[in-house]
Amino acid sequence: ARIRAGAVALAVLVLAQIYLGALVAGLRAGLIFNTWPLIDDAVIPSPARLFFEQPVWRNFFENTLMVQFEHRMAAYLLWAVSVWHAIDAWRANAGPAARAAVVLALAKQLAWLGLAAAGRLRLPVPGAAIAYYYLLVTAATLAGLVRTLRGDVPAVWEKRR
């Protein structure tokens, strides 16, 4: 049950990241704040720059710096939860199908981190489209993981057991 809850949490985080990516794209925040790992010359921008809109809640949706910062922090959280989930599933001896799906999900997260670092997050429109495609594939992988953990193992996996 714990492993399945972790997989569901990962799926929710991926969907949240897709939403935040849409905000970044809509505001063109990725073109304005396109350096990594620093954003606005700091790892964590000053609160005065993050929360200058009034009312304060508008900063989370309309402030380009805040939206880009949210997107990056969500990416770091997603990566950390992916690593935690992979280690947890491996230690729990969740079975070969679940282990394979968890390792695949972790490998995708590590690949994405490498792509982001290599590209220094300067993604033009085609690059952003690749990012959305990647996240949708990751969401599908996580949906398969949740299904596998629920016990709905595809026939292909049954034959290998």
Neighbouring-strand partners of residue 39: 42
Q: What share of the chain is helix, strand, coil (3-state, %, to 5)?
A: 80, 0, 20
Which residues lie below 8 Å from residue 14, measured CB to CB, with a gap of 6+?
78, 135, 138, 139, 142
In this prediction, residue 122 carries a pLDDT of: 55
Residue 159: is its pLDDT beyond 60?
A: no
- Which band of pLDDT confidence, cut at 50, 70 and 90, is reported for residue 45? very high
Of 155, 140, 75, the C-alpha closest to 114 is: 75
User: What is the per-residue pLDDT across 82-111, written as a single tens digit (0 to 9) for each?
Assistant: 888 878 877 777 677 767 767 777 777 667
What CA–CA distance (Å, rounded) separates 97 from 81?
20
The three-state secondary structure class of 42 is: strand
At 32, list the tokens: 């304005």
- Which band of pLDDT confidence, cut at 50, 70 and 90, is reported for residue 42? very high
Residue 70: is its pLDDT beyond 90?
A: yes
Q: To the nearest whole percent, how much of the chain has pLDDT over 70? A: 68
Residue 127 near residue 34, CB atoms below 8 Å: no
Q: Is the pTM value of this prediction over 0.85?
A: no
CA distances from 94 to 2, 4, 44, 86, 149 (A): 10, 10, 38, 10, 8
Residue 92 near residue 5, CB atoms below 8 Å: no
pLDDT, average across residues 1-28? 85
In this prediction, residue 117 carries a pLDDT of: 58
pLDDT, average across residues 44-56? 94
